[in-house]
Chains A and B, each alone.
Chain A
Amino acid sequence: MIRADIFRDIAPVIRDHLVVCNIGIPSQELHAIDDQPTNFYMLGTMGLASSIGFGLALAQDKTVIAIDGDGSVLTNLGTLPTIANNDADNYILLIIDNGSYGSTGDQPTYAGRCTSLAEVAGACGCDHVVECAAEETRAALETAIAARRKTAIVAKCESGNEKHPVIAMDPVVIRDRFMKAVKA
């Protein structure tokens, strides 16, 4: 399974929740597969999906799923201690770990070599860390949502991208639509 296959599999699960999606091809794929007003698409700013999602979870009660990538987490590793040390039982960090920088040509990341993001998250103090195969992502998400406890899921999948259009929606429209969904 590649990232887009995971998105198709989890779309019915995440559709009813607030989602902050990582920059580049991940946002393009999610937008093409299941665009929802509850999705916040990052058009820039590599690395901050987990932080934006965490700020959102701290500010309100609805469940927030931050969809990040292994490369993006590596670029903002400081996010993991912040997540670990502050209470937000409505926060789920889903790291789609395909061991590569998908949006830039599938160059390998260190997470695809000897660095374990699940172990890094655990060492940072994250209590509930689940590493799973791509096929198990949906079940892991359902469990985390039902338990309503802060969880980091590292879903291991194959490297690869689907070709979808660049998101043409204006950023202010994305943001305004999302904020209305947050309030609804």
Chain B
Amino acid sequence: MTIHERIADDLVAAGIGFITSVPCKQLAGVIAEIDRRPDLLHVPCNKEDEGMGLCAGAWMGGKKPCIIMQNTALGVTVNTLATLIQFYRMPLPMLISYRGELGEPVACQVEMAVHTKALLNQLHIPTYHFHRQADVEELPKILDYTFMCNKPVAILTDASFWGGY
């Protein structure tokens, strides 16, 4: 089984039914796998705050949501996380490619990488960092935790994690 199949399996097993995404090269395999799953309605969005709005609506409509995005977009979602997802107490797992970490070839990606955990910390968003292959084993518990506490939860997946597969 590939890591992409495993992550898609975990999303389905957690009862997630609605996924929105803005692509990242590191997340291409997961996005392709999601598109092969009839249980996962995938609605690509044009910007991550728009995607969080879609997720909020989908959740109120009875579908557990998930957003797939890159860490460079965290800045444009701060207001939405605070005034929609957190203010109304909504669950939102965020599967985030953590660009700008070890192995990164593009220097500019580092500029948001150095702010990523600080922003998540400032927003009091529970954050999990997948760095080694085995870290994926925590994904089912992280998803359950997200829908238990009705909070946004960040899963940062770096190049070492993806490179391990």
Contact = CB atoms under 8 A, between A and B. Distances in A.
A58 B56 CA distance: 12
A60 B84 contact: no
B53 A45 contact: yes
Contacts of B83: 43-45
Nearest to B82: A44
Interface stretch (B31-39, B86-94, B108-116): B86-94
Contacts, number: 119
B55 A55 contact: yes
B65 A55 contact: yes
Given A81-B46, A82-B46, A48 B53 contact: yes
The A contact surface, by secondary structure, is: helix
Contact-residue bracket for chain A: 20 to 34
Contacts of B18: 55, 58-59
Interface string A38-55: 001011110111111111
A171 interface: yes
23 contacts: A42-B84, A44-B79, A44-B84, A45-B84, A48-B52, A51-B57, A52-B60, A52-B84, A55-B43, A55-B54, A55-B58, A55-B61, A55-B65, A56-B57, A59-B18, A76-B50, A76-B53, A78-B46, A78-B47, A82-B50, A86-B43, A175-B60, A179-B60
B57 A183 contact: no
Given A44-B84, A78-B45, A182 B54 contact: no
A7 interface: no
